[in-house]
Structures are given as structure tokens and as C-alpha cells.
Amino acid sequence: MLLLTLETTCDETAAAVVDEQAQVLSSVVASQDELHVRFGGVVPEIAARAHLERILPVIDEALRRANIDLTDLNAVAVATTPGLAGSLLVGLSAAKSLALALGIPLVAVDHLQAHVYACQMAAGSPVYPCVALVASGGHTSLFRCRSAIDFELLGGTIDDAAGEAFDKVAALLGLPYPGGPAIERAAQGGNPRAVRLPRSFLDEPDRLEFSFSGLKTAVRYLLYGQGKPVDQPPALSQQELADLTASFQEAVVDCLVAKAQAALRLTGLTTLCVAGGVAANARLGQRLRQAAASRHGFDLQLAPRALCTDNAAMGAVAVERLRAGLFETLELDAKPGLVRPGR
């Protein structure tokens, strides 16, 4: 059985071909970073238009790399939630058209369940039940995952997402979009304790929420002064930049690690899956491995770097919905959810 999966929730146009064992035959991602870089974040209208231009060539390339034709497909899956409305609609319309034209089942994918499924695909063995931390540009959420397709939200950010904080702080520093990789590079050789920065809710151990907007504002005041407009980024020496970015990164990582551990403690679960763009951060990975190996240890399943940022291969979670007999009709709609545009 061959399944085509589509992903257009934000600013990556992606298609993959997977089989019934969730093995990936091909995976193609067309990134739009170069279109959004000068705005310091994703512009929803530009993202939707770019998806429209790229979706068919990306599908063609995924089929070509898998060495199959459209008529070899047995089902088509598409990420329908959460995401940017205009972006989601492009993938959804393409998937519906294929399902109708080829007479094959249509499967809906939850983008956050797909991010977590990347951990299972890498592990090669079941990771559920587990706690999952999904940290990306649009989300920072903790879930109790009963299965690949049965998630309960335990808590999340009350303002900015972790990746959004990386992107905004990078913009304040004059570093390019996406900010996560740029800050990670700049932080090399920096002292993570050089600059004191706030860490929200760490004094409330049972609270499974995050807040990163105060941290972002603290960096802004440090750089530009309180109540001053943000104009030209101030000139910092390489060491000052390294120290500030390392301190910022450490503050985000402290919150992510502490709340993930709290979720494990409060649920009694012993496996932690960590996925989403921010899971690609090497310092986060290092701190999670330390925590996993500590006295109150846990089984850590970190998504592999290649499957952290948005891609369609993780849409293989659709196989689990197919197994459960969960198909959709052509009435299927996109549910944008809580993703806030513009970052």
C-alpha cells in the first residue's frame, strides 16, 4: 500500500510517499525561508501563494523519487490542523483533488501528532503512551499521548512559542530568519550564565505552561533600553553576542526541560518524546539527555534533526488513522487553530 502525504501548514511545501509500515520511500521539502527572511517572520499571504506555485512540482518530485505514478497511490493524506488558514487550504485542495480524481481514500493528519510521530519513526518501536513536548515556531505544547492519534493537551505557552521567541530575538539582534539556527550558531563559545534573564513559572513546579514574551522583552530592553524604539541593532563584540545568545538559549531550554520533567512527574509516564523545529537545538538535546540520565530519569525519544522542522514524511502518522479506519469525506475542512501569523 502506498500513501502520498502532503504538508503545507506554515512555510514549507512538502510531499512524501510512505508505505503501510510507515517506511519513507521519498520525502521532498521546498522551504520558503528565502521569501520570508526580509520580513523576519512568515507572511501568511506570501506563504499561501508560494504553496500554490510549488505544491504540484513538489508532488511530482516525490512520486519521481519513489519511482511510482499517481495511479500507484492507494490513499492521500494531508495536514489539516493547526496552521495558517491560507497555507492549509492549498494542501487540502490538492489532496481532495487527488482523492476524487484517483478514487482513493482521503486521510486527515494533525500536524502536532505528525511532529511526535517523527520520534516513533526514528525509534523504530512503539513510543506511546508518552508525554510529548512539541516546540516549534507556532507551538510550545505538552501532551499526554495515549496513542499516535489520541492526544490530550496538558498545557502550552500562554503567549509566544519557543521558536517564535528565537525568531524574534534573532530579529532584535539583526540575525537572519529562521532565528533558531542563527542563535544556536551565534551562541557557540558563549557563557550561558553571562546575562541574567527571566524564566517564567519555574517557581510553580506543577504549572504546565510556558511564557516567553517576558524573556523576549528583557532582551529587547537590554539591547535598546526601556521604552525606546527598535531600530538599528546595537554593535556587539562577537563575545558579547555569544554570551547574550547563549544566555537566551539557556533560559528557553531551562523552561522546556523543567516543564517536560514536570509533565512526566504529574502523569506518571516514563517516556518523553520531543519534536518540532526547536527540538533540532543541540543545547536542548544535550540538556534533555542529561535529565534523562539523572536520578529521576526517563526514556528520551528525540526526533532526529532531519524530521524536526516541517516535512511530509512525519505525515506517515496517517497510516495509524488508516489502520483505525478513519477516512474523511470531501467535506473535510482545515482547522487553523491557535497559530498566530506574523510571528
- Residues forming contacts to ligand KG4 in the complex (CB under 6 A) are 10, 136-138, 163-164, 166-167, 178-181, 184, 276-278, 280-281, 309-310
Of the candidates 141, 59, 142, 65, which has an alpha carbon nearest to the alpha carbon of residue 101? 59
* Complex with ligand KG4: residue 265 or 283, whichever CB lies closer: 283
Helix axes 213-224, 162-173, angle to 10 degrees: 10
Q: What is the closest distance, in whole angstroms, from the C-beta atom of residue 81 to Zn ion in the complex?
A: 11
Residue at grid coordinates 490513499: 75
Decide which of Zn ion, ligand KG4, none touches 315; Cβ closer than 5 to 8 Å per partner kind. Answer: none
* Complex with Zn ion: residue 73 or 135, whichever CB lies closer: 135
* Complex with ligand KG4: residue 178 or 192, whichever CB lies closer: 178
Question: How many Cα atoms occupy the beta-carbon half-sphere of 274 within 13 Å?
Answer: 27
* Complex with ligand KG4: residue 36 or 321, whichever CB lies closer: 36
Q: What is the closest distance, in whole angstroms, from the C-beta atom of residue 171 to ligand KG4 in the complex?
A: 11
* Complex with ligand KG4: residue 157 or 309, whichever CB lies closer: 309
Are the C-beta atoms of 140 and 134 separated by less than 8 Å? yes
How far does CA 97 lie from the centroid of its chain?
27
Decide which of ligand KG4, Zn ion, none touches 309; Cβ closer than 5 to 8 Å per partner kind. Answer: ligand KG4
Task: List the 12-19 sheet strands across, edge first.
Answer: 24-31, 12-19, 2-7, 75-81, 106-110
* Complex with ligand KG4: residue 105 or 285, whichever CB lies closer: 285
Decide which of ligand KG4, Zn ion, none touches 336; Cβ closer than 5 to 8 Å per partner kind. Answer: none
Decide which of ligand KG4, Zn ion, none touches 261; Cβ closer than 5 to 8 Å per partner kind. Answer: none
Q: What is the closest distance, in whole angstroms, from the C-beta atom of residue 12 to Zn ion in the complex?
A: 8
Decide which of ligand KG4, Zn ion, none touches 278; Cβ closer than 5 to 8 Å per partner kind. Answer: ligand KG4
Q: What is the closest distance, in whole angstroms, from the C-beta atom of residue 111 to Zn ion in the complex?
A: 6
**Nine-digit cell at 91?**
494542501
Q: What is the closest distance, in whole angstroms, from the C-beta atom of residue 196 to Zn ion in the complex?
A: 31
Residue ranges binding Zn ion (CB under 5 A): 136, 310
Rounded CA gap, 263 and 267, in Å? 6
Q: What is the closest distance, in whole angstroms, from the C-beta atom of residue 136 to Zn ion in the complex?
A: 4
* Complex with ligand KG4: residue 10 or 15, whichever CB lies closer: 10
Rounded CA gap, 11 and 33, in Å? 7
* Complex with ligand KG4: residue 73 or 142, whichever CB lies closer: 142
Helix extents (H) in the chain: 33-36, 44-66, 85-102, 111-123, 162-173, 179-186, 213-224, 238-267, 282-292, 318-323
**Nine-digit cell at 72?**
500507484
Burial class (CB in 10 A: 0-12, 13-18, 19+), 265: middle
Q: What is the closest distance, in whole angstroms, from the C-beta atom of residue 317 to ligand KG4 in the complex?
A: 15
Decide which of ligand KG4, Zn ion, none touches 263; Cβ closer than 5 to 8 Å per partner kind. Answer: none
Query: Which amino acid, residue 56?
Result: L
Q: What is the closest distance, in whole angstroms, from the C-beta atom of residue 191 to Zn ion in the complex?
A: 31
